[in-house]
């Protein structure tokens, strides 16, 4: 059968629509097709078990074509029968060849005795800009050996994006965690995105304690996205109380990073504050904010601040919503209009709560394009829901 002589650019474009299986078949047709499809086929590699690691470690070239320069994303995940330490070592000779690697995902449920592989990624792959690190459960942060392991895993430099996930921690772990996190942040002055996902089945950690333990020299002038999720304790005082009611460790951290556009705070425990609450103080720390995700009670305060006029995305998570208390328009600080809001998501298991939030927010929106609600309206709310949407559409068209 004659081979269609297509330009490499066309074969490459077609390849972006094919499955990996189809790409593998296409790469066998002829050399020109192989040259066009291999960069797509090996762009992103996921190593989820021993056999995949073994196959990858011996596939240095295909018909004399080196594939290592095509690998841009590499994920070493736990999957199937997992990856044991002896097989993991097979990757070490490969690392210096990954000259175009930009993204590394390290996700194992154990820390290898020998972290030579991680150190090779840190020293031999200067093109890496995005890293995800999972620090598995069962590690005692008070142990010196564990602290050494943690320090080595966080030995990356010059990153643009970094995600750290911890699956278990001990009470009072914040200072030790912050100490090594400080080192990484100081080594990544151009960091634009930082995600901290710390989980534990029995404990929660204090966000203020973690941030207060960070070296005050830590300032990331290019930070635009901050995501803090997991079993977090968030203190209402540190967000909304007057300057004289401090300290405000987390708010001070935000103030040192005025370019943050995207902020996600997913907390398990919200520590209430009985003093004066003023959303103005929180808004001062976020002059560039465009996307915000947090509990309903916190979002209720945020839309009463100057931040509301800049928000383009608002994601409200279920928290301690109280009907007749939260999202009322006539509090001391009224709900402001959200003229730039394009996406609104309301996460709650009770549609009547979602409906109350909708009634408070929709009248002040003009550019809304996407509305998501995570619960289905009861039949008695359907007509009210449709009426609210219809009113919003007509109101938007008129204005």
| Residue 8: band (very low, low, confident or very high) from pLDDT cuts 50, 70, 90 | low
Q: pTM of the prediction?
A: 0.86
Strand order in the sheet with 269-271: 205-206, 232-235, 269-271
Instruction: Give yes or no for residue 110 having a pLDDT over 60.
Output: yes
Residue among 181, 123, 187, 174 nearest 150 (CA): 181
Query: For residue 382, what pLDDT is reported?
Result: 60
| Residue 395: band (very low, low, confident or very high) from pLDDT cuts 50, 70, 90 | very low
| Residue 398: band (very low, low, confident or very high) from pLDDT cuts 50, 70, 90 | very low
| Residue 377: band (very low, low, confident or very high) from pLDDT cuts 50, 70, 90 | low
Residue 170 burial (CB count, 10 A): 15
Average pLDDT, integer, range 117-134:
96
Query: For residue 397, what pLDDT is reported?
Result: 38
Give the separation between CA 194 and CA 12, rounded to whole angstroms: 33
Query: For residue 64, what pLDDT is reported?
Result: 46
Helix, coil or strand: residue 150 = helix
Give the separation between CA 79 and CA 84, rounded to whole angstroms: 11
Selected residue with higher pLDDT from 322 and 348: 348
Q: Which CATH number fits domain 1-41: 1.10.3470, 1.20.1280, 3.40.50, 2.40.160?
A: 1.20.1280
On whether the CB atoms of residues 40 and 34 are closer than 8 A, the answer is: no
Instruction: Give yes or no for residue 228 having a pLDDT over 50.
Output: yes
Q: Domain residues of the chain, as ranges?
A: 1-41, 290-399
| Residue 125: band (very low, low, confident or very high) from pLDDT cuts 50, 70, 90 | very high
| Residue 355: band (very low, low, confident or very high) from pLDDT cuts 50, 70, 90 | confident
Average pLDDT, integer, range 203-232:
91
Query: For residue 3, what pLDDT is reported?
Result: 47
Query: For residue 264, what pLDDT is reported?
Result: 97
């Amino acid at each position: 059968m004659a081979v269609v002589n297509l330009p490499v650019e066309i074969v490459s474009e077609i390849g972006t629509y094919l499955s990996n299986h189809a790409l593998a078949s296409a790469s066998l047709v002829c050399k020109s097709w192989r040259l066009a499809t291999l960069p797509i086929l090996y762009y992103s590699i996921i190593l989820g078990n021993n056999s995949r690691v073994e196959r990858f470690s011996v596939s240095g070239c295909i018909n004399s074509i080196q594939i290592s320069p095509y690998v841009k994303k590499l994920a070493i995940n736990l999957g199937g029968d997992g990856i044991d330490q002896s097989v993991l070592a097979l990757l070490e000779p490969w690392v210096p060849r990954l000259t175009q690697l930009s993204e590394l995902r390290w996700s194992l449920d154990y820390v290898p005795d020998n972290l030579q592989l991680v150190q090779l990624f840190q020293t031999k792959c200067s093109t890496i800009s995005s890293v995800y690190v999972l620090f598995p459960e069962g590690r005692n942060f008070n142990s010196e050996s564990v602290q050494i392991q943690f320090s080595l895993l966080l030995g990356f430099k010059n990153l643009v994006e970094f995600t750290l996930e911890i699956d278990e921690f001990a009470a009072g772990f914040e200072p030790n965690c912050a100490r090594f996190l400080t080192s990484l942040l100081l080594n990544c002055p151009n960091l634009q995105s930082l995600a901290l996902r710390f989980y534990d089945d029995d404990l929660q950690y204090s966000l203020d304690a973690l941030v207060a333990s960070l070296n005050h020299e830590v300032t990331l002038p290019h930070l635009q996205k901050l995501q803090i999720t997991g079993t977090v304790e968030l203190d209402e005082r540190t967000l909304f109380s007057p300057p004289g009611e401090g300290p405000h460790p987390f708010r001070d951290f935000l103030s040192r990073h005025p370019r943050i556009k995207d902020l996600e705070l997913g907390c398990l425990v919200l520590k209430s504050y009985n003093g004066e609450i003023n959303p103005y103080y929180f808004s001062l720390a976020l002059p560039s904010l465009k996307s915000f995700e947090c509990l309903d009670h916190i979002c209720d305060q945020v839309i009463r601040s100057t931040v509301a006029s800049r928000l383009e995305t608002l994601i409200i998570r279920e928290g301690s919503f109280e009907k007749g208390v939260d999202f009322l328009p006539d509090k001391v600080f009224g709900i402001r209009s959200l003229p730039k809001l394009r996406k609104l998501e309301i996460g709650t298991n009770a549609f009547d709560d979602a409906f109350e939030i909708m009634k408070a927010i929709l009248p002040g929106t003009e550019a809304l394009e996407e509305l998501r609600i995570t619960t289905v309206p009861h039949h008695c709310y359907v007509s009210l829901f449709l009426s609210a949407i219809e009113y919003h559409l007509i109101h938007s068209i008129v204005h």
